Structure 1
Amino acid sequence: MKKTLLAAALAAAPFAAFAEPEAYVLDASHSQVLFAYDHLGYSTTWGLFAGFDGEISFDQADPANSSVRVSFPVRSMFTGWEARFEHFMSDAFFGADEDDMVTFTSTAIEVTGEGTANITGDLTLNDVTKPVTLAASLNQLGDHPMENKPWAGFDATTTILRSDFNLGEFAPFISDEVDIQISIEAFKAM
């Protein structure tokens, strides 16, 4: 009987090594999307979105088996100048209502190195959905020193064409390309 139980335990052991993806929730207070574009060749203009909602299904053993979903209101944009914000929210750009959202849902993850990956997904912006690839890196994974629970931090970058999302007003004088930098923290859902 002992031999049968031992054999069953040994047969099951390899399957125990396969970890399932674990759910992480974005820490809204430490997650932001920064965007930049060239303004007539004179300056680089910056803006950001912060305080957004999302979750990551993170598989440490097989990062390609992970996924991410993020959403935030268009009107959560911060430009640093109220007149620019109102211009972006006008019909010339977003024509944004209070419930208009920006969303990103991953469709594939390609591991590119130790702690790096290309995350491809569907970006919905201004009622247009297009595929976008994020060059992502894992900054840190471990127990948060103040929260005493598992925490993860990631950075990612990409460039989009705003005209792809019907936001091409004044292009090419104001650059069509928008550089995006993302930094997020997420905590393990308990």
Structure 2
Amino acid sequence: MNRPLSFALAAALAAFTAPAFAEAVKYNVDPGHSQIVFSYNHLGFSTNYGMFSGFEGVVNFDADAPADSSVEVSFPVSTLITGFQARYDHFMTADFFNAEVNKDVTFKSTSIEVTGEKTAKITGDLTLNGVTKAVVLDTVLNQAGEHPMEKKPWIGLTATTTLIRSEFGLGMVAPFVSDEVPVTINLEAGKAD
């Protein structure tokens, strides 16, 4: 089972404001409330959107030394939602994600730079379409505290970055369809039982 990254969870690591723990505490990503949304310009006529879900991931958060925390997340390429079946089918082919070969997208943090009370830059290795590159996620800790229904510690964060799709072997028809792809990640994670 893949348990690599997930863009963003580490933000909580960097800015978590709950009571300090003696050692790192494990948080599991909540797949039902975690998503990645991306957009791209289509030939200058429109902006199209896609979304990924189905995350697995772990945050090991050290409140005493947030920069020493870690985060790993993965999700299947097949969870992509485009809103149009023919576009989805094309994206799964070797023209783009080659989903039969490169089934998962993974992210593993390599460093965390605290930039404010609730902000951080999380650097990590993103593996997409069989290509691994370092990316930086501008991350905001939305909230940290007890989940009102789960009754245990919970974190939520939002991260943004811009990917150059051709760097990941996804550059078909660039630059007519934009090569720069803005990405927004929203993640929730709950303390592991």
TM range (shorter): 0.7 to 0.9
How much does 1:67 deviate?
1.3
How much does 1:19 deviate?
3.1
Residue 58 of structure 2 corresponds to 55
Describe how 1:173-188 pairs up with structure 2 within 5 A: 173-188=176-191
Q: Report which of the two structures shows the higher radius of gyration computed on alpha carbons.
A: 1
Could you tell me which amino acid in structure 2 is paired with residue 108 of structure 1? Answer: S
1:147 paired to 2:150? yes
Q: Greater helix share, 1 or 2?
A: 1
Residue 36 of structure 1 corresponds to 39
Partner-residue secondary structure (3-state), 2:171: coil
The normalised TM-score by structure 2 is 0.87
Describe how 1:1-190 pairs up with structure 2 within 5 A: 19-97=22-100, 100-190=103-193
Q: Deviations over 1:21-78 (max 9, x none)?
A: 2110000000001111111111111000012111111222332122110101111111
Decide whether the 8 Å contact of 1:52 with 1:70 is kept in 2: yes
Partner-residue secondary structure (3-state), 1:87: helix
Task: State the distance in 1 between where 2:102 and 2:131 align.
Answer: 15
How much does 1:179 deviate?
0.6
Could you tell me which amino acid in structure 1 is paired with residue 22 of structure 2? Answer: A
Q: Deviations over 1:126-181 (max 9, x none)?
A: 00000000001111111101111111001100001000001000000000001100
Decide whether the 8 Å contact of 2:24 with 2:62 is kept in 1: yes
Task: State the distance in 1 between where 2:56 and 2:46 align.
Answer: 31
Q: Which runs of 5+ in 2 are unaligned?
A: 1-19
Could you tell me which amino acid in structure 2 is paired with residue 78 of structure 1? Answer: I
CA RMSD of aligned residues (A): 1.4
Q: Identity over the aligned pairs, expressed in percent? A: 59
Task: State the distance in 2 between where 1:175 and 1:90 align.
Answer: 19
Structure 1: 4+ residue segments shifted above 3 A: none
Residue-pair matches, total: 174
Task: State the distance in 2 between where 1:105 and 1:127 align.
Answer: 15
Partner-residue secondary structure (3-state), 1:167: coil
